[in-house]
Structure 1
Amino acid sequence: MLYSLLFIHPTFANTQDEYFDDMITLKVGRYLKQEFYEVKSDYDGGIYIAIKDFIAFSELREYSKLSIEGENIKLFMAASLFPDSKARYITKKLTNLNTIIIDGQIYLDPQGISELLPIKAVQWRAESYTLVISPDFSLPLDYRIAAQRRKRGIEEEKNSQSATPEKDFFMQEDRKLIDFGMLKLRYDINDISSYFKNGAEQNKGNVDIEYSAQLLYGDFNIRHSLYPNKNLANISLKYPYILQDKTLIIGDNYIRGNNLLGYNSNIRGLSISDNDYTVTRSGQNVTIRGRAAANAMVEIYQNGKVADYQRIEGVEYEFTLEMRSQNDAFTIKIFDRNGVLLTEEIVNVMQGNDFLSAGEWDYNFFYGQNPQAENKAWDDRTYGIAYGVSNNLSYYFDYYNTRNEDTLYQYAKHKLAYRFSTLFVPLVANLSYYDSLTERSQGYIGELSSEIFSHKLFYSYERFSHLLAQDENKDRYQQVEISGNYGRSDYFFRFSNKKYQDHTENIYNTGVSYDVNKVLRIKADLGKTVQKQSEQQHNHTVKIDVDYNEGDFTYNLNANYNQRREAKWQYIARLRKRLHQQTNFAYSVEVNYNKSDHFTLGITFEYKFNDFFKIDADYDSKRAQPHKVRASYETVINMKKPFLTNHAKYPDNGYLEGRIFVDKNANGEKDIDEEPVVGVGVAIGKNKVKTDRAGSFYLSNISPYRSNKLHYDYSGIMVDPTLRANSAEVIELIPASGKKLSVGLVPLSLVMGSIYLPEIADSISKKFFSYVEIVVEKNGNYYSSVSPEYDGFFVLQDLKPGKYNLRINYLGSEKITLAKDVLSINVLPGDTGDFYEGIDFKVTAIEAKK
């Protein structure tokens, strides 16, 4: 039965086979950037990039060769792209990459791009819908950038349009001093049965509000409990991208006092950073903390498989995981309460900045209460600055001032990172020095990492003294690790030695994993610990995992052996289906067995009646009251338009309102005599509405800081073919705000005419019609141009209502004389476009220049 539970895929599971065209901002390296880059998206928020298009976009066609041979994808990259002047030959199995194939094109997700090409880091910035790729090689563009900068000054003087302006992520034009914003109301009860109890056991649930709006040209947000307690949860004022890629946050959740209106409230906190998470490492344990919206589902992936997940109760999440090797890759995915992917971010677990280019610098700043600290009355201060001394040498300085209980930690950290680019094999060295400013504590950490073929080598040495040694529980520590992969399998060997006072601990670990296919992985790890103090003690551990991930399903079977435990073997089996955008339910089953506790069972079931009302039921055999049913309801009200139906899930989401009409005079505004267009579909992805009798629409639940592609669907509507409007446009919103759109179907007219020549030789006539064009001007400005046929006939299309002048521009050496130099035409407004003919030029003479 357990085998069937874990490995038989349910018949009602959704298989995702629909993808749609989407647009993102793609940035590769320091200079290469395209704001509207076409990708494929799925309805879970995943993006896929055509690998051949990416190579062309990165200008790598002349420097690389991509081929598909059987199940393998092979990539050659020229030596000129790398600092060590050595070519790269890369082979990957397609089954190990997250690929889709559409019309013969191979598409990879961002993780697949980083696995195929030599990439230092891949970062997905959901708030700006931007994918940032940091290559570990030099782009051809990098070699031309110096010359481009020299030319830019001259080009800008000649044509102010030649320089592309930097995109304003802060969106200053849309900001307001104050606005109405969005209000979210939420009611939830942790146990429905407690509602009907009496006395202290009665619980009527909780009522919370969250409000977002524009305030002082920033993004204001406040969360407050109304019932039964009146506590302020957090309050913040954010200025995203106001300092390049940095976000300035004032307040956040660093609050003293419980009552927003109380005199004892003291909101404090200030930070400048570009990360939404923090990472703390101790040996092989890594702790990742971050922030997410209330009731969101956060999943953390380790090496592509779900390692853990949490439902956010407040505004923060925390995961502590054990790294199998230094090559472990972690990804955070955040889904809203309805299963829609909000954020996907690759986590940098190395706790440091990447290498910076020569002259490049970075910084961060934090002041306020540390939510994880035990002493919340103390204001933490952390500052950091990094500078690229050269392309291969970076320096980092960090200052920490924090308090844990009654102990003050005040120290500085210096770090140097150097990349040896001229050696036969790559070698990276990191040296860190910690110096306490309050007592004699010091710390040294040295790290070396290299790679030989597919084998990676890592060595670290740490030494601490006094208070730092006491907190780290070690005076000296060293670790050696060898790891690598062969196609579908990988391995690691690791030895570590720790000494603290008279205690010594040696740990030996080894492990292998094998990807049976794209969704199934088997892992086996062995460990041995030898401790020496007054006497020597041994411990052996075994860990066997079977992980199966497909879409929103997760299966896991785990067997652990620990020699020191009373119940030496422990077994855990898990089955989970996450809530999906296209399904109304989710569930999970967890079975634990060990010799001491025998079987324990946990079951959860979640049903979504609609986007706002949801019920959760769970069973836990370890609880005194094993059964529990929880209900929650939430809705978001547009304070500017409180009586309109609003489908927003979060108060940060914005809206669009507008009208679609026949714009007779092409002035962009609906006049009294202009008719609305009824039944037009207006959509962003699957979020769709239709225009009403007045041609109006209201589209809510639009994510901020994202390039949302807005589509207009005129199918099924009788629209005159001479009426034209954009079928799509890109819309960006700031949080808790809206935009008004006027979408006019403009009547476009057609003009036909001819150019008549005097009696001349055929050779001169042919030359004339090859060198002539008709230039169209509107309001004194260039509008369009067209070349005539070889008999002089021409057609001007797509002319909006207005007055136009037509001129002849002849580029030949002959002198021409016209009966009339300028022809004027007035395209009249109307419900449909019109047809104008007989607009003819007459050339009276063509003479060779003397």
Structure 2
Amino acid sequence: MPIPIRAILLILFGLFFCSPAFSGTKDDYFENMITLRVGSYLQQEFVEVISDFDGGIYLNIDNFLELTELSEYTTLSIDEGNITLLIAGSLFPNRQKRRITTELKKLNSIEIEGRLYIEKESLGELLPLKGVEWIEQKYTLKITPDFNLPLDNRISAETRKRKLEADKNHKEASSKTDLFLKADRRIIDLGMLKLRYDIDDIGDYFKPEETNGTLEIEYSSQLLYGDFYLRQNIYTSGELQDISLKYPYFLKDKTVTFGDNYIMGENILGYNSKIRGISVSKNNYSVQRSGRELTIRGQAPKNSTVEIYQNGKVVDYLSVEGNEYQFILTMRSQKDAFKIKIYDRNGVLIKDENINVMAGNNFFSQGEWDYNAFYGQNSGGENRAWDDRKFDISYGFTNNLSYSFDYYDTRNEDKLYRYIKHHAGYRFSTLAVPLLINISYYDSLEDPSKGYITELESEIFSQQLYYSYEQYSGLLAEDEGKDSYHEAEISGDYGRSDYFFRFSNENYQGSKEYIYTTGLSYNITRKISMDWDLEKTVTKDGDISANYTGDIGFNAGSGDFTYSLDAAYNAGRDPKWKYTGSLRKRLGQHSKFSYNVTVDYNKDALFSLGIGFEYKFSAFLKMDYDYDYDSDSDEMHQVGASYEHVLNLKKPFMPNSAKNSDNGYIEGAIFIDKNGNGEKDQDETPLADVGVSIGENKVKTNKDGLFYLSGVAPYRNNKLSYDYSGTMIDPTLRAANSQEIKLIPASGKKVGMGLVPLSLIMGSISLPAVDNKLRKKFFSYAEIIVEKSGLYYRSIKPEYDGFFVVQDLKPGKYTLQISYLGSETVTLEKDVLEVIVKSGETGGFYDGIDFKVIDIQPKKIEPVFEAAGNSDWTILFREDFQKG
């Protein structure tokens, strides 16, 4: 490691300008200069020490106490061969005074002309220190005290003061943080209109008896300060498919919706989970769970692709026909994790969301609460009266006990559901093993139907244990297809592999079914995994019958590609193997086509083949081809096409790359901000060919420095990045390389990115005629406080000769003042210096900003020790100190 220039200067200064210490020992010791660092803040250059030729460094104890200002808080005495140091209690956290006594002969010390010098390693025998370190490369002695230096206390107090002010400003700013983005909202706005035309089969397009495609519109805008959305079929059905007015974050983290929404929450009730009315809720998907059977529904743009992941693997996907998706899945084990990914029609990922299949079983901190409310029409039922209601409220009584209450009043086709649900969850935190209990109770208000669900979860030796018991009666038993149900499962996760064993017992109308299942998963590589399941089913319904099934599957994924191979065996009345294979390439952001191939075969020579291909001609026009062959039926061919375009009604002639009607846009200017006000003035120079992007969505500024970036997703912290490589700029100009932008749906925002010229201030601090020791101390204890427009801007330390530089200053009015943290009283010719940094296309240099100190008066030291017996002191001898 190269030796710093400052260290070289110290060495040369010691060699050429320092005289021998005293004549009698000049062959053994010599004067030297080092840098001394004590505590967190104190550092002084060119400290005079005594060195020997064995690397020893000796500090004058009186000078050390004076430099660190410990002389005001200590008393040093030498008597009968002992050296005693009394230290005031104000320097220690417990406020206890200290007395440290050490035998002088045990210290590695020397005496020169009546002055005591102590070798650096022996300082710990006299002072309570955490450590002493000699940094050879920097020629620096670092001393870490086990108490608070007076300077540390002063700086800590100043730091706390600034932190309190910063926290206060942060809280004020946080309280003003508007997630609702009220400032961007309008009573009415033109918004975005999306036109979409779909032809399912071009072969049927010209047949008179067939419909000639489907024309739909989507419209998003601001209405009554909310987010308005409409989806209408213009041709052929004319149906109003979706309409809503939403106020997100209007009630804390809740969205108030007037119109269509999905009823949230896990439940066993079989009503349609979409409602048209008024709702206050958090998410836009619903989960219906019965045992291990899941139905996940949600909303996505038409022609988008939705993937469902189970334990990190793609288990199903679909292309959205309307604006809804639905997946019906079976959980392999209770620890399964699910995720939804949604890609728009051009392969751009627009949503990546974890699905909570255990909703309703959440724990709350003590005093925390949550609620949701839904009221309106059930769009999936025959009865369109406004008689569907669902309300729930949850509360945390303690950190380990949570309770929720749900009320359902819904109708699905001809079935009326009026239930109340109680749920309580408790975590036992004092047991040797963790234990969690969830109890749910459903009670019908229309008939005697009731339902009980009890779940227990624990973990022993990293193995997860799960047990559940369910019991139903009346209509609930019919819907669930069981009167009672038991399930016990043990599972474990070992990184690349996991397993489970499960036993279940189902009883319905006298028929009993016992199922024994085991499963193993293994990640062969990071991209290839294997699942293996075996199951035995025993049915008792008068007669006893048994069946065995097995399944082994391989899954692989890489980028836009997914592969799967599956072999299943069923040892029923007609034992058979079934083989399934699939290959799929998803439409990627940088590709123009996608395809999928699926093959099914079993021993009865039943064979099916499905092929799909899709090609994107542009961001607006796509065509697809589907081929289906089944050995039991005729083969089918289908060629379809779709066209869609989003029009910005406020700026209809601007190019628009938006894919969805809720996408917004950002327009702005990039320029040289001469005055640093953040706005482009007429006399400020624009910058052309600057790249502006959000992810892969990129544009460049024109000759006037203007840009227009469309296709920006709402309610995201979009990172707007700038690339200046295409233009020449002065090195004194500075600008942020990125900023975060958040939009409300179907809206725009104007931004200005000015490259601000940065200037610097140079000056010095001059002192009156004072001794060299006080001069060094002054520059060690002084800092320069810089304020801009009356607010703290930054602080800097001057060099050891008084020179200072303040860099990166934007145009504005600045004040500089000296903050001296030493005990002396300092008088300046002028306490505050003002500098006006002028605007311009380049930064400037402001020199000659000098402080003049006209007087430095030492502080009158008052004794901090009063006569007292030893009982007033914490007395430490050398041996005691070594023991800590």
TM-score by length of 2: 0.73
Counterpart for residue 640 of structure 2: 630
Aligned residue number for residue 735 of structure 1? 745
- Deviations along 1:484-531, one digit per CA (max 9) or x if unpaired, are 344533333322222222322222323333322222222232223333
Would you say 1:712 and 2:722 are equivalent positions?
A: yes
Shift of 1:376: 5.0
For 1:401, the aligned partner's letter is D
Question: Residue 637 of structure 1: CA displacement?
Answer: 1.7
Which whole-Å CA distance do the structure 2 matches of 1:567 and 1:587 have between them? Answer: 34
2:209 corresponds, among 200, 213, 220, to 200
* Alignment-derived partner of residue 448 in structure 1: 456
Is residue 483–residue 509 contact of structure 2 (8 Å, CA) maintained in 1? yes
CA contact (8 A) 1:378 1:403 kept: no
Q: Does 1:643 align with 2:653?
A: yes
What does residue range 207-222 of structure 1 map to in structure 2 within 5 Å? 207-222=215-230
Partners of 2:798 and 2:339 lie apart in 1 by 59
- The residue that corresponds to 2:425 in the other structure is 417
Structure 1 residues 437 and 743, CA gap change in structure 2 (3 angstroms): same
1:751 aligns with 2:747: no
User: Do residues 241 (structure 1) and 249 (structure 2) align?
Assistant: yes
Deviation track 1:798-842 (CA, whole Å, cap 9, x = no partner) reads 333344444444444444444444444443332222223233333
Maintained 8 Å contact 1:189/1:632: yes
| Aligned equivalents of 1:699, 1:636: Cα separation in 2 | 14
Show the 5 A alignment for 1:53-132.
Answer: none
Shift of 1:183: 1.5
8 A contact 1:567–1:595 mirrored in 2: no
Alignment of 1:366-515 (within 5 A): 366-373=374-381, 375-377=383-385, 379-515=387-523
Deviations 1:659-712 (A, max 9, x none): 111122223222222211111111222222111100111112222212222222
Contact 2:261 2:284 in 1 (8 A): no
Report the Cα offset of residue 235 of structure 1.
0.7
Q: Report the 3-state secondary structure (helix = DSSP H, G, I; strand = E; otherwise coil) of the residue aligned with 1:237.
A: strand
| 1:724–1:438 CA distance, 2 compared to 1 (3 A) | same
In structure 1, C-alpha distance between the alignment counterparts of 2:589 and 2:363, rounded to whole Å:
39
Is 1:178–1:216's contact at 8 Å kept on the other side of the alignment?
yes
1:620-659: CA deviations, max 9, x gaps? 1247561211111212222221111111111222211111
SS in 1 for 2:721: strand
Q: Where do 1:535-574 residues align within 5 Å?
A: 535-564=543-572, 568-574=576-582
Structure 2 counterparts to residues 157-168 of structure 1, below 5 A: 160-161=168-169, 163=171, 165=174, 167-168=177-178
Q: Could you say if the C-alpha distance between residues 419 and 828 of structure 1 is closer, same or farther in structure 2, counting changes exceeding 3 Å?
A: closer
Q: Alpha carbons of 1:797 and 1:205: their partners in 2 closer, same or farther (altered >3 Å)?
A: same
Report the 3-state secondary structure (helix = DSSP H, G, I; strand = E; otherwise coil) of the residue aligned with 1:764: helix
Residue from 686, 699, 702 that aligns with 1:692: 702
Deviations 1:730-771 (A, max 9, x none): 222221122111222222222322233333322232233333
Contact in 1 for aligned 2:382/2:414 (Cα 8 Å):
no
Cα distance per residue 1:593-621 (max 9 Å; x no partner): 23456221110111222322221111112
Inter-CA distance 376–535: structure 2 relative to 1 (3 Å threshold): farther
- Cα distance in 2 for residues equivalent to 1:292 and 1:740: 28
Give the structure 1 partner of residue 370 of structure 2: 362
| Match for residue 275 of structure 1 among 256, 271, 283 | 283
For 2:815 and 2:291, locate their aligned partners in 1 and report how far apart those are by CA, in whole Å. Answer: 76
Q: Measured at CA, do residues 390 and 848 of structure 1 come closer, stay the same or move farther in structure 2, by a change above 3 Å?
A: closer
Unaligned runs of 5+ in 1: 1-151, 255-266
- In 1: Cα distance, 2:295 partner to 2:845 partner: 71
Match of 2:796 in 1: 786
Q: How many residues align?
A: 686
Compute the RMSD of aligned alpha carbons.
2.8
Closer, same or farther in 2 for the Cα pair 1:625/1:228, shift >3 Å? farther
CA–CA separation in structure 1 for the residues paired with 2:519 and 2:850 = 84
Partner Cα distance (2:434, 2:768) in 1: 76
Q: 1:772 to 1:515 in 2, by over 3 A?
A: closer
- Verify the 8 A CA contact 1:566 1:596 in the aligned structure 2: no
1:363–1:802 distance in 2 versus 1, CA, 3 Å: closer
Match of 2:189 among 179, 199, 215: 179
- Distance in 2 between residues matched to 1:417 and 1:819, nearest whole Å: 72
CA deviation after TM superposition for structure 1 residue 314, in Å:
1.4
Structure 1 pair 230/830, CA: closer, same or farther in 2 (3 Å)? same
Residues 185 and 761 (structure 1), Cα distance of their counterparts in 2 relative to 1, 3 Å cut: same
Aligned match of 1:833? 843
Percent of pairs with identical residues: 60
Q: Is the 8 Å Cα contact of residues 667 and 751 (structure 2) preserved in structure 1?
A: yes
Distance 1:375 1:297, change over 3 A: farther
Query: In structure 2, do the counterparts of structure 1 residues 394 and 831 end up closer, same or farther at CA, with 3 Å as the change threshold?
Result: closer
Aligned-partner residue type, residue 346 of structure 2: N
Q: 1:607 aligns with which of 615, 630, 634?
A: 615
**Is residue 666–residue 801 contact of structure 1 (8 Å, CA) maintained in 2?**
yes
Separation of aligned partners in 1, 2:375 and 2:427: 33
Counterpart of 1:766 in structure 2 is 776
> Counterparts of 1:765 and 1:156 in 2: how far apart (Å)?
33
Query: Retained in 2: the 8 A contact 1:156–1:163?
Result: no
Secondary structure (helix, strand or coil) at the match of 2:286 reads strand
Q: Distance in 1 between matches of 2:791 and 2:296?
A: 58
Deviates more, 1:388-397 or 1:594-603: 594-603
Per the alignment, in what secondary structure is the counterpart of residue 209 of structure 2?
Answer: helix
For residue 680 of structure 1, the aligned residue among 690, 711, 717 is 690
Structure 1 CA distance, aligned partners of 2:431 and 2:830?
Answer: 75
Partners in 2 of 1:460 and 1:181 — Cα distance?
Answer: 51
**Equivalence for 2:55:** none
Cα distance 1:404–1:798, how it changes in 2: closer, same or farther (>3 A)? closer
SS of the residue corresponding to residue 256 of structure 2 reads strand
Residues 436, 156 of structure 1: CA spacing in aligned structure 2 closer, same or farther, 3 A cutoff?
Answer: farther
Give matches, 1:22-41, under 5 Å: none
Amino acid at match of 2:360: G
User: Is the CA contact (8 Å cut-off) linking 1:280 and 1:351 kept in structure 2?
Assistant: no
Please point out which of 289, 312, 315 is paired with 2:323. Answer: 315
Q: Is the 8 A contact 1:233 1:253 kept in 2?
A: no
Structure 1 residues 538 and 819, CA gap change in structure 2 (3 angstroms):
closer
- 1:797 paired with 2:807, answer yes
Report how far residue 566 of structure 1 moved. 5.9
The answer (yes or no) to whether the contact 1:156–1:162 under 8 Å persists in 2 is no
CA contact (8 A) 2:691 2:726 kept: no
Match of 1:749, as an amino acid? S
Say whether residues 1:591 and 2:605 are aligned partners.
Answer: no
**1:426-484 Cα distance to aligned partner (Å, 9 max, x none):** 22222222111111122222222222223322222222222222222222222222333
Question: Counterpart amino acid of 2:452?
Answer: Y
**Is contact 2:378-2:412 (8 Å) kept?**
no
Which position in structure 2 is the counterpart of 1:290?
298
SS of structure 2 residue aligned to 1:469: helix
Q: Give the distance between the partners of 2:460 and 2:821, measured in 1 at CA.
A: 64
- What residue in structure 2 maps to residue 60 of structure 1? none
Partner of 1:843: 853
Change (3 A) 1:817 1:329: closer
Letter in 2 for 1:281: R
